[in-house]
Amino acid sequence: MKTDFIPRANADWDTWLQNFDDNVTTVATALLIPGADTTAIRASITSARQKYNQSENAKADARNKNNLFRTSRTTTDQSLRAYVRRLKAQPGYTEAQGELLNIEGPETALDPTTAKPVLKGVFENNTAALKFNQFALADGVVIESMRAAETGFTFLSIDTDSPYVDTRAKLDPSKPETRKYRAIYFDGAVTDTIGSYSDEITITIP
């Protein structure tokens, strides 16, 4: 079975096009291919590569804006939870006031000694997406990771909004990378973790 000479992966395809564009005129001239035909194919390559680069730039911009939003939401949610706890601690606080602000309602009880996130992961859109459950009394989760040849878990992110998307590039682009993850709840009001770590999960980045 023959292998297609045009790479399937977009990044490899772009590199392949660059090499082809750099050398096709020399080869085509030696083989007496009309110059107009070579000019046409090179114009097609230029157009395709421009659109590819625009697409990659748009993805990077979207990831950056998403990360800025996540950081902003995390900070805002922490401040809001602390402020609401302060409101509810006031002697004159009433449930009616809480309902006016939509801060009253059923909350999942959180036992600090047994709380444990449920972490799930999938590989999609060329990234690792981590989905986690949340408790009303916890501000979010601390996510840690260990990848490739690393021997211990290290801090990756604090997130309040599932899923968290790990967009890091592989340490070695030439081969698949195995990543392990775990998470633990945290309380932003006291900047402390709650309960125990989730079960570890593994995602392989092809």
The residue ranges of every structural domain in the chain are 1-105, 108-205
What residues have CB less than 8 Å from 82, skipping those under 6 apart?
188, 189
- CA-to-CA distance for 83 and 67, rounded, in angstroms? 24
Do the beta carbons of residue 192 and residue 177 sit within 8 Å? no
Q: How far apart, in whole angstroms, are the C-alpha atoms of residue 63 and residue 72? A: 14
Instruction: Say which CATH architecture domain 108-205 belongs to.
Output: Sandwich (2.60)
Cβ neighbours of residue 154 closer than 8 Å, sequence gap 6 or more = 144, 145, 146
Give, for all 206 residues of the chain, the pLDDT tens digit: 567 899 888 889 999 999 999 999 999 999 999 999 999 999 999 999 999 999 989 888 887 887 788 778 778 878 887 898 899 899 999 989 988 998 876 555 567 778 889 999 988 878 899 999 877 667 789 999 999 889 999 999 988 888 899 989 888 889 999 999 999 988 765 567 888 999 999 999 98
Query: Can you tell me the distance from the alpha carbon of 187 to that of 64, in angstroms, rounded to the nearest whole number?
Result: 26
pTM for the structure as a whole: 0.51
